Amino acid sequence: MVTIHDYELYMPARVMFGVGISAKAGEVLKDLGATKVLVVTDQGVVGANLLDNILPSLEKAGLSYNVFDKALPDAPLSKIQAGLKIQKKEGSDYLLGVGGGSSIDTAKGIGCLATNPGPLPNYEGPEKYKNPPLPSVAVPTTAGTGSETSFGAVAFDEERQYKFSFRSAMQIPKVALLDPLLLKSTPPRLAAASGLDALSHCIEAYTSDWSTLITDAYCKQNFYLIGQYLRRFVADASDLEAAAAMLQSSTMGSLAFNTARLGLDHAMGHPLGTHFHLPHGIACGILLPPVMRYNLMSCPERYIDIAVGLQGMVQGDLKMEKAYCAVEAVECLIQDCGVEVDFSSYDITEELLSTMADETLQSGFQLSNPRKASKEDVINIFRDLFKGNQTN
């Protein structure tokens, strides 16, 4: 189907891929005009010695820098504020985000507040802040979030116990350095969670009402790469070919959803992750099958494409039988990667389901979903996920 609706393609980032390319961080920042750099990362990255080639490159380029290594999963507001305090004190004029999506999103939060008045929750949603943020360069150390080329970011408001997104084309990093060597120590569960996050990005972008021929191309390549390489990457993150495939898959996912947007899986994934303390990739990954079952009737042809990309074939005589192969392919991938969550010990009440459904529909992510969901629809999808673990 040829795209006939209006769209904007976000491609302002320069993407540099290569084995060892992260050692050019200093050179890249110097060329961009940086003088004082705040490196935003987490203690896991530091402990894995992933800065060993990056920090010397800053010194070689003659750049002054400070390291803020307190980023945490979901980018809590308190950590964004702590990093902002260092940025203000040191007068940093550029940010270098090194890590997974949370570290890069922490850098985006710091960048926003460095040039715009707080608090950050005031900017929930798309294009809410007016002043260009402090510019950044991103070096991902996981393969899933695509934050290195994304116009979005997610933060966690500890006071409200609420995860929210703030989105602006202005906060896309100027350069993304994709170095598969930095993925070599990725634990299997993180490799699986990140890969499922990348898959969810492209399934949602491909089935979105706002998809385009250009984003479709990214998505179709993503399905093939994940079908071929995610299992290998989970089995052995030092497999350089698999790491390179997954790292590029992650970036293609964000290039797709920047324009086509996401959908009900991410709308539901945020409250699920918050209330059950699940990593973002795990929450979105385990929600894929029930959300796909809900969306299936709205775009079966697209689900057939997904199944073919992931497993190279479909089975069945009827269109819906072939389309359902996509759900089965994702379920098989989740199982093979060892991703499962036991909800039997949780108190899943009607009140909790209602709260999560409300938070889902407040997010705005579902607006481009191919099938429009009511609150009761969302509750039923959560019920499909929990399968009998609900209490009265």
pTM of the predicted protein model: 0.90
Rounded to a whole number of angstroms, the CA Rg of the chain reads 20
Residue range 182-234, pLDDT digits in tens: 999 999 999 999 999 999 999 999 999 999 999 999 999 999 999 999 999 99
Q: Which of 161, 76, 74 is nearest to 120 (CA)?
A: 76
Write the DSSP symbol of residue 52.
T
What is the DSSP code string of 208-263?
A: STT--HHHHHHHHHHHHHHHHHHHHHHH-TT-HHHHHHHHHHHHHHHHHHHHH---
Mean pLDDT of 244-255: 94
On the question of pLDDT at 35 being above 90, the answer is: yes
On the question of pLDDT at 181 being above 80, the answer is: yes
Confidence of residue 3 (pLDDT cuts 50, 70, 90): low
Average pLDDT, the chain: 93
CA angle at 269 for the pair 96 and 147, rounded to the nearest 5°: 20
What domains can be seen in the chain, in order of their start residue? 14-183 (3.40.50.1970), 188-386 (1.20.1090.10)
